[in-house]
Amino acid sequence: ADDGYRLWLKYDLIQDVKLRADYARSFTFISTSSDSPMMKVTVAELEKGLKGLLGNSPAITRQANVQKPGIILKIDKNETPDEEAYHLFRKNGQTIISSRTEKGLLYGAFTLLRAIQTHQNLDKLDLSDSPKIQHRILNHWDNTNGSIERGYAGESLWKWYDLPDNTDPRYVDYARANASIGINGTVVNNVNASARFLTEEYLLKVKELANIFRPYNIKVFLSVRFSAPKNIGGLATSDPLDPEVRKWWKEKAKEIYGIIPDFGGFLVKANSEGEPGPQDYGRSHADGANMLAEAVEPFGGIVMWRAFVYKANPNGDRTKEAYEDFKPLDGQFNKNVIVQVKNGPVDFQPREPFHPLFGAMPQTPIMMEFQITQEYLGFATHWVYLAPMFKECLDTDTYAEGKGSTVAKVIDGSLHGYKITGIAGVANTGSDRNWCGHPMNQANWYAFGRLAWDYALSSEKIADEWTRMTLTNQPGSVQTIKQIMLQSRENTVNYMTPLGLHHIMGHNLHFGPMPWLSKSARPDWTSIYYHKADSLGIGFNRSASGSNSVGLYAKEIRKQWGNAGTCPPEYLLWFHHVSWDYKLSSGKTLWDELCSRYYQGESAVENMQNQWNSVKKDIDPELFRFVAGKLKVQQKEALWWRDACVLYFQQFARKPIPAPYQKPQ
Ligand code: GCW
């Protein structure tokens, strides 16, 4: 039975005998030029894959056998300068993976395996590929005690109490999975960081992880606690302009690089949600970031400084605050600093417009932070395929430098000539056997990696690959599963937060609906702060007549989103407070449209259940049963969301639920 452990790296025997024999004839040997650790894992993966998929064990050799066809791994200094690029092609019957470095060969090998797993015809194989973004990183929000902040697949993967002496074989499988989709960095601890990670005790543990990940081209990074000089350094202050503090960080960096020579650098959450930071000493984010940047600079490290900051201001607008803090600092950061910005200006909601900082800092590299784990998307009980959400953001035009200035072009560096580029995803991995809690949401880890490598891939293509590698190659079922996946995010938005609603979820846990939440430790943690429903209407007025956060965007966007009449319905209540009778382009009133989306969203989950039932014959029985059970939970929760929200808002709208949705008495 399939327990989901192998993720998309399933190398089960291809059932189509002819296809299998065709492939087997082409891969009689694997020839390599070195036995470095990276080459070794590359060859081992090909061997494992071919053995599983084709049932034959190719010979491993230093010499290509020109008489017989095989795979040739070739370092070629004439290949494109990007170290991670590869050229995968057929020549005289041989399958050649060629790259300037072993990194490219590693990625080329996984691409070849993917092609076989998805049953591609390789006769005319000729693919040159390279990543569009340099740093493709997972962010783990994992703590020293083994728990994960917002992790929904059990506990942390990292067994800190066992490390460094004992290493879980799972770390290798983690690295294989990441390498297979091009992820080349991992921040192993929570951004709400414990200073303990910077102690020698923990650095030696992290070193073991780095040793395991290195052959897979994965660098290790740490989240750091800004007040570490005080917490563990015995200093009286952590003021970034204090010479002793600066010295402490420099020495700490030297110590880290002595232990982990290819350490990637630091990720920092500062002056956000109670975390310490430079503003505690009247200094700016740039002062803080630059101090750390200076410390890691001699060793080639980078600092990823998060822009997720907002103050408790009952009359303010949270969507403006990061922009107001960071925009004035453009140009003040050291060259090895990159500012990490969440995709939207609130916080990983089911749908948000892109963050106004994208495109607004031409002199400061900006990187993307997506959330793969489903903090606001039903945790690991809801099947939601996130590629369409990631793409929606990446493909949006910021107009920062005129038409065509997409968010993707900001973060790949092409728009403003950034020298460092990056994209991070908050991981959905954990200690569950199936890694992600919900086996179908493994696709989100996969999709994040594939889009980090190449954001031009379509959600459909990625879903197709993942389904074939993970579930089945049967065309009818592949089609149905893709349909489920491609609609799933819109469905979820419909039953949770349609028409631009946001932040109306359960308190603290961020689970289930709670639109009535009116009191919390902070006003901007309530729901009523965001939806502002009253007898007249609903929505947050962020147009020029309101908070004017729409004013932070380029004029083309302001013009469109700033008027309720031209604002896309997806963002309507994000930017406008409109009356319950407001007429939408659909011809329906706001109230009717809101109800219809909530009801459609819920019934779509019932439809997902039917669709899933229809693929039963092609799915492993254990996996089928498990996902069917998850869908039952999701259906109940969709109903919960629908009824809670519709009935709550109805108190303000004072209108009946539209006829098609009324239950017979
Ligand atoms: O939305 C908030 C979450 C916090 C998280 C924070 C962040 C890591 O509720 O749990 O802390 O985002 O991204 O820093």
The topology (CATH level 3) of 135-470 is TIM Barrel (3.20.20)
- 48 CB-contact burial (10 Å; exposed 0-12 / middle 13-18 / buried 19+): middle
Per-domain boundaries in the chain: 17-129, 135-470, 493-540+577-661
The ligand 1 atom nearest the CA atom of 347 = 1
Q: At what angle do helices 387-395 and 459-470 cross, to 10 degrees?
A: 160
The residue whose C-alpha atom lies closest to atom 1 belonging to ligand 1 is 347
Residue 16 alpha carbon to ligand 1 centre in Å: 47
Alpha carbon of 108 to those of 98, 176, 231, 476: distances in Å? 8, 13, 45, 29
| 244/235 Cα distance (integer angstroms) | 8
User: What was the ipTM of the complex prediction?
Assistant: 0.99
The ligand 1 atom nearest the CA atom of 149 = 10
How much is the pLDDT for 525?
Answer: 95
Residue 273 alpha carbon to ligand 1 centre in Å: 8
Q: Which residue has the tokens 């290798």?
A: 172
How much is the pLDDT for 353?
Answer: 98
**Which residues fall within 8 angstroms of residue 643, CB to CB, at 6 or more apart?**
none
How much is the pLDDT for 663?
Answer: 78
List residues with catalytic annotation: 273, 347, 375
The residue whose CB lies within 8 Å of the most ligand 1 atoms, and thus the one to mutate among 139, 149, 226, 507, is: 149
The residue whose C-alpha atom lies closest to atom 2 belonging to ligand 1 is 347
Structure tokens at 39: 């080459």
- Ligand 1 touching residue 192 (CB < 6 A): yes
- Ligand 1 touching residue 226 (CB < 6 A): no
- Segment (H or E) for 72: strand 71-75
- Ligand 1 touching residue 504 (CB < 6 A): no
DSSP result, 480-538:
HHHHHHHHHHHHHHHHHSGGG--S-BPTTT--SB-TT----SSGGGSSHHHH---SSEE
Q: pTM here?
A: 0.98
- Ligand 1 touching residue 511 (CB < 6 A): no
Q: What is the DSSP letter of 150?
A: T
- Ligand 1 touching residue 392 (CB < 6 A): no
How much is the pLDDT for 8?
Answer: 98
Residue 141 alpha carbon to ligand 1 centre in Å: 9
Percentage of residues of the chain with pLDDT beyond 70:
100
- Ligand 1 touching residue 347 (CB < 6 A): yes
Look up residue 332 and give its amino acid: Q
How much is the pLDDT for 314?
Answer: 85
Kindly calculate the radius of gyration of the chain based on its CA atoms and give it in whole angstroms.
Answer: 26
- Ligand 1 touching residue 149 (CB < 6 A): yes
| 647/595 Cα distance (integer angstroms) | 10
Q: What class is the 493-540+577-661 domain?
A: alpha beta
Most distant pair of Cα atoms in the chain: their distance: 81
Q: What class is the 17-129 domain?
A: alpha beta
What residue ranges of the chain have pLDDT lower than 50? none
Residue 272 alpha carbon to ligand 1 centre in Å: 9
Residue 160 alpha carbon to ligand 1 centre in Å: 22
Beta strands in 297-371 (DSSP E): 302-306, 337-342, 366-371
Structure tokens at 393: 């953001």
Residue 149 alpha carbon to ligand 1 centre in Å: 8
- 585 CB-contact burial (10 Å; exposed 0-12 / middle 13-18 / buried 19+): exposed
Helix (H, G, I), strand (E, B) or coil at 220: strand
How much is the pLDDT for 665?
Answer: 58
